[in-house]
Amino acid sequence: MDIAAAFRILELPTGATLEDVSVSFRRLLKVYHPDRNLDRSEWSHRKTVELTQAYEAATDYLRAGPIDVGGVSTATADATPPEDDAPEPGVYGDYSVALQMRLAAEFDLLLDQLYAYYSYGLDNIHLRMEGSLRYRYRNTLRRVKAVVESLRDLQNWPGSRTQHGQVAMVHRFAAAFYENMLIKPQDHHVPTGDERKAYRLYVQGAEALDVAIKVRLFEEYGAPGTSPSSRSMAERALMLVLATYPRSRYTAETLIKYYLLESFAALCEVLDEG
C-alpha cells in the first residue's frame, strides 16, 4: 500500500506523526469493531484488514525516517556530538532527546498492538486460532515482535543511564508480553483433582493480570485504582500454582505469566516516575 493511500484510510494528512497515526488507528479500530457492526461482519473484517495494512504502511514509513514528535524532528533535536565523537554503543552519555523520542514512539506502537490485542479478545487463546481472529492474532504478534527488536536496538543508542534504564524496562515488558502471546492451548482434556485446582488458579491469575494491564495502560477499561488490586490478585494466584502445584501441566504457562507480571510491575514504576 502506498503511503498516500495509507494516510487517507487513517483519515490523516500526509504530514501526520506517529502519535497521530496511533490515535487515529485506535479510534477507527473502535468504529470497525465487529461488536459494533453485527449486521455487516464482512464489511467490518474488510475495513479492519484495510486499516491494519494502512497502519503498518504508515508506521513503517515514519519509522524509516526522522520522527516528528510535537513539531520537533529527531534529526535536529539532539545536541549530541558528531558521530565520530559519540560514545561507543552501550556507554552511558548525556541525556539524548533523540533516544527519548524514539522510545516514546516505540512505546506508542506497542500500546497500539496491545490495544488491538485486547479489543478483539485475542487474549482468549482458543478463539484467536480460528477465522478472522487468527489473521489479527498473527498480525499483532508480528508487530509486537518488531517493537521488541527495535527496543533491543535502542539499548545501543547513546543516552543517559536513566534513559537506558527506561529502555530496558520497556523492552523487558514488550518481550514478556510477546512470550505471553505465544502461549498455545493445551491438548483437549478435562482437568481433575489437583490439576483442576491448578487450572482454576492459573486462569484466575491470568485474567487478573489482563485486567491490571488493560486498566493501567488503557483508561477506558476501568478505574485506574483497580490496577494495583488486580496485580496483587494475579500475584497471589500465580504464586499459589507455583508453590502448591509445581508439577502441574500449567507450570510453564504460569511462569510466563509471572514473568509478565514482574515486568509489568517494573514498567508501572517507570510510568509513575514520568
> Do residues 23 and 96 both lie within one domain?
yes
- pLDDT, residue 94, reads 82
Burial (CB count <10 Å: 0-12, 13-18, 19+), residue 39: exposed
pLDDT < 50 positions in the chain: 67-90
Instruction: With beta carbons less than 8 A apart as the criterion, state whether 105 and 69 touch.
Output: yes
Q: Do 8 and 111 reside in the same domain of the chain? A: yes
Of the residues 134, 159, 181, the one at which a domain ends: 181
Residues 177 and 200 in one domain: no
CB atoms within 10 A of CB 50: 16
Domain end marker among 181, 216, 239: 181
Judge if 98 and 167 occupy the same domain. Answer: yes
Does residue 265 sit in the same domain as residue 207?
A: yes
* One domain for residues 224 and 110: no
* Range(s) of the domain holding residue 50: 3-74+90-181
Summarize pLDDT for 224-239 with one digit per residue, the tens. 555 678 899 999 999 9
85 domain-assigned:
no
113 inside domain: yes
Asked whether the whole model's pTM tops 0.85, one would answer no
Inside any domain, residue 111: yes
* 12 alpha-carbon distance from chain centroid: 23
Domain shared by 161 and 202, yes or no: no
Tell me, rounded to whole angstroms, the distance of Cα 196 from its chain centroid. Answer: 31
Inside any domain, residue 164: yes
Q: Does residue 81 fall inside a structural domain?
A: no
pLDDT at 76: 41
* 177 and 52 co-located in one domain: yes
Cell of 197: 485446582
Q: Is residue 210 part of a domain?
A: yes
* Number of domains making up the chain: 2
Question: Are 221 and 164 in a shared domain?
Answer: no
135 and 239 fall within a common domain: no
Which one of 131, 156, 181 terminates a domain? Answer: 181
In terms of domains, do 40 and 131 share one? yes
Nearest alpha carbon to residue 42 among 103, 131, 123: 131
